[in-house]
Structure 1
Amino acid sequence: MEYDVVIVGGGPAGLSAAIKIKQLAAARNQEISVVVLEKGGELGAHTLSGAVMDPKALTELIPDWKEKGAPLNTPVTEDRFLLLTETKAYKAPDMLLPECFQNHGNYVISLGNVVRWLGQQAEALGVEIFPGFAAAEVLYNDDGSVKGVATGNMGVKRDGEPGPDFQLGMELHGKYTLFAEGARGHLGKQVIAKYKLDEGKDPQAYGIGIKELWEIDPAKHQPGLVIHTAGWPLDSKTYGGSFLYHLENNQVVIGYIVGLNYENPYLSPYEEFQRYKTHPAIRTFLEGGKRISYGARAITAGGLQSLPKLTFPGGALIGCDAGFLNMSRIKGSHAAIKSGMLAAEAAVEALLDNRANDELVSFPVKFEQSWLHEELYVARNVKQWLSRGLYLGAIMTGIDQLIFRGKAPWTLHHSHADHECLKPASNYQPIVYPKPDGKLTFDRLSSVFISNTNHAEDQPIHLTLKNANIPVDVNLAKFAGPESRYCPAGVYEFVKTDEGKDRLQINAQNCVHCKTCDIKDPTQNIVWVTPEGGGGPNYPNM
C-alpha cells in the first residue's frame, strides 16, 4: 500500500502529526495521503501516562478543542509537593516550588481518552488509521533510505509455522515515515542504531512508571488536586517519586516512577509503589476505595542532552520515540503533540517540493526555533541533579530553577546507560517487601488481570534472548536475577528443572509492553520484539 506519509504509532505524537499534515494540505488545496498504524487493539489501548496536560500544543493544533469536546474536563485546582519520611509528610512551601511543579492552567486527564478523541479528529480529516496492526519491520530502499514498514504476520504458531488463521503481513510504503512508538520504540531503536543517530549524545535515560486508577470515597475526592512526592520509600540515592491526581467522577490516578539507573539489583519498582500507598499521607485517600485498573510503561527521561538526531533519509523520530518528555515537569503529551506538528510541517514542505525519501532537514531547525526547545533547555539539568541524590539534587534543582531560571551557565551530562548501572548483588542485602493485603496493596498477577492484558497463547514469544544461558549464568549468578523484580507484570521468574537446575521462565502472556526489560537487562540480552497486533494491555480511562 502506497502513501505519502506512514506514521508508526497512534499516540499523541503520531495522531498530531497526521492531523497537522491534513490541515496544511487542505490549506493549500493539496491531497496528501496519511496512514497511522497502531499495535493496540484500539486507539488508546496501550496509552499510559499520569497525566497532567499542558494544553498549549493542543491549542495550537486544534484551537477550538473545547467546542469539539476534547476530554480535558478537570482543571488543576491545587499543587502539593510532599517530602516523605516513613511516617511523616512535609509540604514544600508554595513560594519554593519551581515553575516546573506549578500546574495552574493545566488539566488532569486520561491520555488514553485524549488519544481516542484525537483519532476521531484525524479520521474526520481523512487520515487512515489501522488499529491492531503492529509495525514489525523497517523497509529500506536500495539507496539505504527508509521505504516504509511491514506489519507482522498474524496467526503464526509458537513454532513459527503458519496456523489455521494465518494472515500475511502487509507492506506500507511512504515517501516519509514518522516513528511515534513511544519510549524505547522497537523500530525506532533499530533506526537509531542503523543511522547512528545517538552518536555524540548522552545515553538515553529512562524511568519505569507504574500506575493505578482508583474510585474513592466522594468525601475524600478533590477534583483537580495534584500531589507529587519524593523521598520514602526509596533511599536518598535512588531517583524516583510519585503522583496522585484527582480526576472527575470520584476517580484518582496514583503512580510511582523509578529511574532505571538504580544500582541495587534487589530493588523492585513494583513493590516500592505498593509500599508507597501505605504511607499515612497517601493511604488516607485510598482507604474505602476500589482499584479499577493497572498499567506500567517506561518513559524517556534523558532530556535535551539525550535527544538523538531527529531525522534520517526517509523519515523522522517524534514524541517519546525520540525522547521529548520534559522530566522536570513530569509531562510529555504536550511535547509529543508539538514534535509531531513540527515534523508534519517539514514533511508537507518536502512533499510539496516533490521530494521523497531524503532528510527532513527543516524539522530539527523548526524544533530549535520552537518553544519546546526552550522548555527542554530550561529543564536540561533537573534530572541530572536529582540523579545525584535526593538532598543534593533538591538543593541544586532549587538553585538551577529558582535562581538561574534554567539558564545556569553549565550543562550537566551523564555517561552511563541505565543497564550499566546495576551493581553485583553481593554488595547488597535483599529487600524484604511486605506481603500484599488485597485491599491497598496487591500482587503482580492480580494487577495484570485488571490491565486486560491478553496475547494469543500459541504465538511466538516476543521477549527474545540473544543467548539463552545468560539469564542463569550471569543475571542470576551475579545480580540475583533482577528481571524477576524490575518487570512489573510477573513475566520473568526463575524456576527449578527436574534436575534441580535453575532456568528462566518467560510468561510472555503477562507482558504489558512497558519495555523495562529491554532497557534494564544488564547485558542487553533481552530484546523486546513486536508481538501479534492487537495483543497486550487494553487500558480503559488510563
Structure 2
Amino acid sequence: MEFDVVIVGAGPSGLSAACRLKQLATDAGREISVCVVEKGSEVGAHILSGAVFETRALDELFPDWHERGAPLNTPVTRDDIYLLQGPDTATQIPAFFVPKTMHNEGNYIISLGNLCRWLGQQAENLGVEIYPGFAAQQALIDKAGVVRGIVTGDLGVDRDGQPKDGLYTPGMELRGKYTLFAEGCRGHIGKQLIKQYQLDSEADAQHYGIGVKEIWEIDPTRHEPGLVVHTAGWPLNDDNPGGSFLYHLENNQVVVGLIVDLSYSNPYLSPFDEFQRYKHHPVVAHYLEGGKRLSYGARAICKGGLNSLPKMIFPGGALIGCDLGTLNFAKIKGSHTAMKSGMLAAQAVADALLAGREGGDMLHEYVEGFKASWLYDELFRSRNFGAALHKFGALAGGAFNFIDQNVFGGKLPFTLHDNKPDHACLKPAAKSEKISYPRPDGKLSFDKLSSVFLSNTNHEEEQPCHLRLADPDVPLTSNLPLYDEPAQRYCPAGVYEVVTQEDGHKRFQINAQNCVHCKTCDIKDPAQNITWVPPEGAGGPNYPNM
C-alpha cells in the first residue's frame, strides 16, 4: 500500500503529526494521504504515562479541544513535594525551594491512553487511516539508503517462524514518500536507524528510567481531585536514584508510581519491589489504605534530554517524540513535547509535499523548525537537570537545579555532560549489598504475576520469542557470576528467570508471554545481549486508561 506519509506509532507524537498533516493539506486545498500503523490492539492499548499534562501543544493543534471533548477533566489544584528520609520519615519541601519547572499550575492530571484515543478519533475524522494490531517490523530501505516505508510483521507463524496452517498472513509493505517514526522510548526501528545512519555520533549517551505505575480506587474521604504528590529519596538513594508520583484523578481514583533511574548500580535492585515497599510509606499509604488496585503497568522513559538527542532526520524520514527523546526531565513531562515534535515534523513534510517534492530527501526544514521553536528552548533550559542529579546526587543536584532553573532560567553559561550509558553502571554482585524485600501483604503490595494479570497482557503463545539473545550463553556464563543475572530483577513482569533444574544445573528461562513491552531489558542488560523486537501485532498489554 502506498501513501504520502507513513507514521509508525499511534502515541501523542504520531497522532499529532497525522492530525497536523491533514490540517495543513486542508488549508492548502490539497490532499495528503496519511497512514498510522500501531502495534497495540487499539489506539491507547500500549500507552502508559503519569501523567500531568501541559496543554501548550494541544492548544496549538486543536484550540477548541475543550469543545471537542478532549479528556482533560482534572485541573491540578496543589503540588506536594516530599523528601523521604526513611521508611517512616519525610520532610515536605516548601514550594519556594522547588525548581519552578516542577510547579504544575494550569496543568491537568490525565490518562494519556485516553487522550491518545481521543486524538485517534480526531485523526480519523480528518481522513487519517489508522491500522491498530499491526506491528512495524523493519524499515524499507532501498539500495541508495533511502527509507521508503515499513514492513509489518507476519501473522500466524509458529515458534520456529514457519507458517501455521490456515492462519498465516504475510507482512505488508506500507510505502511512503516520507516515514515518521513515533514508536516511543527505545523504539525498535528507531534504534536500528540511529545505528545505521550514525545519528547519535555527536550526542551524549541516552539515559533512561523505568516507570512502574498502578491505578487505585481509594476512600472518597482521602481523595483530593487535582492533588499532585512527588517524592524523592527513600526507598532509593544517590547510587540508585529515582523518584515517585501520586496523582489524584476524578472518580475517587489515584495513579501511583515509581520511576527508577536505569543508571542504578546495585544489581540486586528490583524496581518492581522498590515500588511495592514504597507504597507502605505513611505519605503514600495514607491515601491508598482501604483502597482497591485496578490496573498495573510499566514503561521505560527517555530522560537524556537535549544533550542526548540524536540527529533527527535521515533520507526519507525522521524520528519524533520519544523515539527521538524529547521528554523534558526537569518537568517530568514528555507528552506536550512529543506532540510538538510531531507537529514540527508534519509541517516540514507538508511543506515538502506541497512544494512538489517526491520524497526520499532530507527534511532539513524539520531541524530548522525545531531549533526555532519553544520545544528547543524548553529542552535547552532543562539540559543540565538530569546530569546534575547523576553527578551531584539528589540534595546537591537538587540545589544546583533550583539555582539553574529559578535564578538563571536554565541559561547558565555551561552545559553538564553525562556520557556513561546506563547499562555500564552496574557494580559486580560481589561488591554490592544484597537487598531483602518484604513479602507482599496483598493490601498495599503485590507480586509480579498478579500485577501482570491486571495489565491485561496477552501474546499468541505459538510465535517466535520476541526477546532475542545475541548469545544464549551470556546470561549464565557471564551475567550470572558477575551480576547475579539482574534480568530476573530489573524486569517488572517476571519475564526472565534463572531456574535450577533437578540435576542441579541452571537454565535461563524467558517467559515472553508476560512481557509488558517496557523495553527495560533492551536498555539495562549489562552485556547488551537482549534485543526487544515486536511480537505479533495486538500482543502485549491492553491498558484501559493508563
Q: Is 2:395 the counterpart of 1:384?
A: no
- Counterpart code for 2:51: A
Tell me if the contact between 2:51 and 2:112 (Cα under 8 Å) persists in the aligned partners: yes
Tell me if the contact between 1:237 and 1:390 (Cα under 8 Å) persists in the aligned partners: no
Picking from 288, 291, 295, the partner of 1:289 is: 291
Q: In 2, distance between residues paired with 1:177 and 1:455?
A: 28
Q: In 1, distance between residues paired with 2:384 and 2:38?
A: 34
- Counterpart code for 2:411: K
Q: In 1, distance between residues paired with 2:143 and 2:474?
A: 37
Q: In 1, distance between residues paired with 2:39 and 2:396?
A: 42
Q: In 2, distance between residues paired with 1:132 and 1:409?
A: 48
Task: Give 1:234 shift.
Answer: 0.7
Tell me if the contact between 1:238 and 1:390 (Cα under 8 Å) persists in the aligned partners: no
Picking from 427, 436, 439, the partner of 1:432 is: 436
- Give matches, 1:460-499, under 5 Å: 460-499=464-503
- 1:3 match: 3
Task: Give 1:286 shift.
Answer: 0.2
Q: In 2, distance between residues paired with 1:380 and 1:231?
A: 22
- Counterpart code for 2:360: N
Tell me if the contact between 2:75 and 2:109 (Cα under 8 Å) persists in the aligned partners: yes
- 1:20 match: 20
- Counterpart code for 2:505: K
- 2:332 match: 330
Q: In 1, distance between residues paired with 2:353 and 2:423?
A: 40
- Counterpart code for 1:5: V
- Counterpart code for 2:439: K
Q: Is 2:445 the counterpart of 1:441?
A: yes
Picking from 298, 318, 321, the partner of 1:319 is: 321
Q: In 2, distance between residues paired with 1:343 and 1:402?
A: 31
- Counterpart code for 1:150: V
Task: Give 1:235 shift.
Answer: 2.0
Tell me if the contact between 1:238 and 1:387 (Cα under 8 Å) persists in the aligned partners: no
Percent identity reads 62
Q: In 1, distance between residues paired with 2:407 and 2:244?
A: 25
Q: Is 2:33 the counterpart of 1:30?
A: no
Tell me if the contact between 1:83 and 1:229 (Cα under 8 Å) persists in the aligned partners: yes
- Counterpart code for 1:476: L
Q: Is 2:92 the counterpart of 1:91?
A: yes
- Counterpart code for 1:496: T
- 2:161 match: 160
Post-superposition CA distance 1:185-232 (Å, at most 9, x none)? 000000000000000210110000000000000000000000100000
Post-superposition CA distance 1:236-287 (Å, at most 9, x none)? 3322000000000000000000110111101111111111100011101000
User: Which moved further from structure 2: 493-502 or 254-263?
Assistant: 493-502
Q: Is 2:399 the counterpart of 1:398?
A: no
Post-superposition CA distance 1:303-329 (Å, at most 9, x none)? 000000000000000000000000110
Task: Give 1:401 shift.
Answer: 1.4
- 1:513 match: 517
Tell me if the contact between 1:228 and 1:241 (Cα under 8 Å) persists in the aligned partners: yes
Q: In 1, distance between residues paired with 2:251 and 2:543?
A: 18
Q: In 1, distance between residues paired with 2:340 and 2:140?
A: 27
- 1:346 match: 348
- 1:69 match: 69
Picking from 170, 189, 201, the partner of 2:191 is: 189
- Give matches, 1:177-256, under 5 Å: 177-256=179-258
Task: Give 1:85 shift.
Answer: 1.5
- 2:541 match: 537
Q: In 1, distance between residues paired with 2:425 and 2:360?
A: 38
Q: In 2, distance between residues paired with 1:240 and 1:343?
A: 32
Please give the secondary structure, in 1, of the residue aligned with 2:202. Answer: coil
Q: In 1, distance between residues paired with 2:510 and 2:320?
A: 31
- 1:57 match: 57
Tell me if the contact between 2:265 and 2:427 (Cα under 8 Å) persists in the aligned partners: yes
- Counterpart code for 1:502: K
- 1:144 match: 145
- Counterpart code for 1:493: E
Task: Give 1:138 shift.
Answer: 0.8
User: Which moved further from structure 2: 166-175 or 82-91?
Assistant: 82-91
Task: Give 1:402 shift.
Answer: 1.9
Tell me if the contact between 2:37 and 2:135 (Cα under 8 Å) persists in the aligned partners: yes
- Counterpart code for 1:282: V
User: Which moved further from structure 2: 355-364 or 33-42?
Assistant: 355-364
Tell me if the contact between 2:211 and 2:301 (Cα under 8 Å) persists in the aligned partners: yes
- Counterpart code for 2:119: L
Task: Give 1:404 shift.
Answer: 1.5
Tell me if the contact between 2:240 and 2:266 (Cα under 8 Å) persists in the aligned partners: no
Q: In 2, distance between residues paired with 1:392 and 1:429?
A: 24
Please give the secondary structure, in 2, of the residue aligned with 1:163. Answer: coil
- 1:134 match: 135
Q: In 1, distance between residues paired with 2:405 and 2:93?
A: 15
Picking from 301, 304, 328, the partner of 1:302 is: 304
User: Which moved further from structure 2: 204-213 or 351-360?
Assistant: 351-360
Tell me if the contact between 2:516 and 2:541 (Cα under 8 Å) persists in the aligned partners: yes
- 1:375 match: 378
Task: Give 1:499 shift.
Answer: 3.1
- 1:408 match: 412
Give structure 1 regions of 4+ aligned residues with deviation exceeding 4 angstroms. none
Task: Give 1:413 shift.
Answer: 0.5
Task: Give 1:498 shift.
Answer: 4.0
Q: In 1, distance between residues paired with 2:403 and 2:476?
A: 46
Please give the secondary structure, in 1, of the residue aligned with 2:150. Answer: strand
Q: In 2, distance between residues paired with 1:152 and 1:472?
A: 31
Please give the secondary structure, in 2, of the residue aligned with 1:223. Answer: coil
Q: In 2, distance between residues paired with 1:177 and 1:26?
A: 20
Task: Give 1:354 shift.
Answer: 1.9
Tell me if the contact between 1:203 and 1:302 (Cα under 8 Å) persists in the aligned partners: yes
User: Which moved further from structure 2: 237-246 or 396-405?
Assistant: 396-405
Which sections of structure 1, spanning at least 5 residues, go unmatched? none
User: Which moved further from structure 2: 84-93 or 69-78?
Assistant: 84-93
Post-superposition CA distance 1:491-518 (Å, at most 9, x none)? 0000023432112100000000000000
- Counterpart code for 2:464: P
Which sections of structure 2, spanning at least 5 residues, go unmatched? none
Post-superposition CA distance 1:96-123 (Å, at most 9, x none)? 2221110000000000000000000000
Q: In 1, distance between residues paired with 2:238 and 2:177?
A: 49
